[in-house]
A and B are shown apart, each in its own frame.
Chain A
């Protein structure tokens, strides 16, 4: 009666990742109204810097009011050109460059807007991979990828296993192993998708990892998709090196134009600027055909012109964006350090991280056995008894049990303190 897509569960929403959210929705913590409720530590959102954005908005009412110099530009409500508002794309590429320390420049003509990175990722896969083919993903990875990359596209994900023994870094042999697995499964590999900075690890890619990737992509003649949605959340050294910068450093445009045309970036304003509700995502590619096809596909998920107008004005204010980036990074660092020390007090160590809105926490010593069943039991206990919704490593396809992702940027200092206290009490038991 319905399609197989509608009746299957490739949307992946039966995973614990989403179950935890549901339980949280039924009993959400609130400092005053529901102090014993579940604290949401499974949502990677940046809520630390709204006051900065709001103060800009107060001083720039025209942008919200769809006005320019006091005159109504409500006609923008008609704008549905899938090439995007030119002023907005210009500001976006400048902002993207700024985040990368202006060590790369981007051409607005190579930018395709999408309704969030969710849409951007799916669209890129539709453009690069046929149903039944595969892409490689280093583990652990964002649980939503199962839905975003596979569900409607019919594409397979083959994991590139990374291990705690070397800090979950991508190795050449892991890449080769994944490629071999795909071959064994008779799957044609079209590309590798990395998230840099990593979700859930909170780390930026090392020079070595970048080098492996590029060498591998050249050898196998495949694409590299670099999901850089957390690029603006790098709050500590080492700094962030975009795949584009790495490509430029190796002069790929001249030395290997083939690979230059197979490198694509996904970005969004949801994590950096903390505006997930506005649905602003984008694809950046040097490949003309990809840009053209993706632009047409963006018809299925355009960005509201009301939003494009507002944000092009905000990003045009360079003083604001500089101030925002600096302050945002400071606040993220502070919160993260609070979480790390709080966890340490409870006997839990985090993977050393310099980015993201979360920590990757080692709870292996709390497992009753070195199995995913034990991990699920632990996760459930923390959710139901301690009242903290964290993300189990298994839902991130981690190859080893015992690791959990814990978010810190979506709550106040006070809430974080309460969460740490609850965890301490639990650990003492």
Chain B
């Protein structure tokens, strides 16, 4: 047993001394780890009456199975520890009592170990415990939080339902904050738990000191531990910058180990913000360097064919193309309404873009469609021939036909129109001289005209007697006149002549023409 213990302890020491990266690589350290874990298991077994295993079965089991065994042992432990913590929170004085009791108890069991342990070993166990039980811590935290949830669920019944629990929200937030601020939070808890264990395990004076220190620290953390829902809300100077004793411990550790190993191994060392930032930055740098060395993601590889990327991976990526064409129009209600408005306005205006029928130019003039008269002709055929002959021979005598009259009327109208147009359009317009229509009336006896075929011209005069001679009173011929009448006429003549010559001194030529030339002819004729 003692040999086993010794080997176990050595194994622990060895584990502690190795660099953390070695753990990641498969190496002989696994055997050492197994023995160390077995040793620890045995240590904890007395506190766990319900433990199913007497000792940790390590040979031939893989990591998962070993872990399961540890887990089985630890689970009930955790709950009992939690209850103890609560009790202590309420009655801080009990701690000392228990501590002494525990020390005594453990002292009886494992003297050797306790003796050998000094600060380093304490730290080693702590660190060992830390490594092995980080998972535990997280679980502890979760369990704690779950317990808290169970306890305090009654407070927020109105808001919470099966999907939303304020406790879970707070837990999530605190986890985030814990990540942000580093290992303090975890260490805090881990420290508390481990301190408990150490209290039970160790019972030396040094351990007393530790105890006291632990107690101090414990006292410092007391408030934080108690109020598990509000841990970081009451962060104190000590949390970040630690108490004096912690600093001394840290210095000791600096001498022996690397900074990183220390960080990993010592949960209770407080780092400055600068150092935390530096650590974060370095981890980021490492990540980025690693990413640079790895092969790139397919989206960053330039031209990719479907064979080179994983199946259906293009569906997950948000593809964006620059389209050169305008997108097709989506016909919405508004578009239709605007179109209909346009159509209505066009209808009201009656403004259409129809095809206009061009009126075709006639290639020939239309034939005059003469209407044929059906009625029997009034004129006999001989009369028709007569008319034609007369028109030919003597156009003046021929009676005018209907069409001739129409033509005359048309020509008269046209002349009038032309006159008006000329007066409007011509700058130097002079109206045409009015031509008096002179119809020549020949002094042919009427009978000559009336005869259809005038063969001879008769003596009867065409003109009326008044036209021939107009005079008043008793008209006598010269042969009928008496002497006195002749004298009277001559005297009249003379008087007239004298009157005219008195007016007009110039002698005029005698005017032979008389008023009525016809009278002369008429008288001549007689």
A binds B: no
**Chain A residues close to B by CB (< 8 Å):** none
